[in-house]
Amino acid sequence: MHVEDKNSFLTFVFVTPITLISDFGPDSLYVGMLKGSILRRMPEAKVVDLTHSLRKFDPVHAAFALRASVPSFPKGTVHIVALNSVESPDHPHRIVQWQDQYFVGADTGVFQLMCGRTPDAVFDLSSVQPDGDDPTFPERSLFVPAATHLAKGGIPEMLGRPASLVTQAENVRPVIEGNALVGHVRHVDGRGNCITDIDRAVFQEAGRGRPFFVNMRRARSDIRSICRTYVEGTPGEPLAVFNSMGWLEIAICMGGTDSGYGGATDLLGLKTGDPIRIEFQSEVS
């Protein structure tokens, strides 16, 4: 897209981003190979790494990361989802359109979990001209040609036929159990902070303004308030904060995996998939 500034006589060219998300690992050679394949087809491409540290073969983790990232990107962004990508009858290759963005990958349940409903559109990849014959690396041979076509402004109808999602995955969401709200750790970041699937609206609905504590398994570590930043409270002690994505996050005040205190995953023993239980004070009848 070209935007002309009539006062300065400058012309700006907007290039649709292509993102990569995978379980390849942060130092994987395959990530570099994917980027090279994208640039060979589209030298002007803007390639963004979302994360390459997904839990292996985990569509729940991938869906959470994508759902959290989508609001940060402009319309038309194309996401290559490299997770359990070898095609099978249970995991067909799909292009998904959702919130004015495109997602190219295998239907492992990640798209159903990400959207939480029926996507805006779904297509197969039946008309994609593959870049070589390599069934072991479909991210490069199929997903890259599809993604660069879309990033250049092409329409998905040129890549395949309308289709549907076939893989259903268990969508574990926060639940209210009496006076408790139970969610799960969905992502551990590079500082050891534990991001949960509890958002502010769910927290407020469950709590209705009541006093609470986040059960950290050890009474001395229980969290009894929500902080505004990561530096409130006592250095080295656990805290809870609603992060910039709107999710409840368990962290260590002034902490992190590279600090003198360590991160929440180290000090509290939390890991992806662990339950987080918030106990609210019983209401007086």
Which CATH number goes with the domain that contains 83?
3.40.50.10790
Residue 170 domain-assigned?
no
Instruction: Write out the DSSP string of 119-165.
Output: -SEEE--TT---SSS-TT-HIIIIIHHHHHHHHTT--GGGT--B---
The model's pTM is 0.86
The pLDDT, as a whole number, for residue 284 is 63
Residue 163 domain-assigned?
no
Residue 267 domain-assigned?
yes
The pLDDT, as a whole number, for residue 209 is 94
Q: Contact, 60 vs 172, CB < 8 A?
A: yes
The pLDDT, as a whole number, for residue 240 is 96
How far is 143 from 106, CA to CA, in rounded Å? 10
Secondary structure of residue 23 in the 3-state scheme? coil
Beta strands in 141-237 (DSSP E): 175-177, 180-188, 194-199, 212-215, 226-227
Which residues of the chain fall short of a pLDDT of 50?
1-4
How far is 34 from 139, CA to CA, in rounded Å? 7
How far is 122 from 102, CA to CA, in rounded Å? 10
Query: Is 41 in the same domain as 146?
Result: yes
Query: Is 81 in the same domain as 197?
Result: no
Domain end: 158, 183, 199, which one?
A: 158
| Domain limits for position 245 | 175-280
The pLDDT, as a whole number, for residue 256 is 73
The pLDDT, as a whole number, for residue 263 is 86
Query: Is 44 in the same domain as 84?
Result: yes
Residue 166 domain-assigned?
no
Residue 138 domain-assigned?
yes
How far is 226 from 223, CA to CA, in rounded Å? 8
How many distinct structural domains can be found in the chain?
2
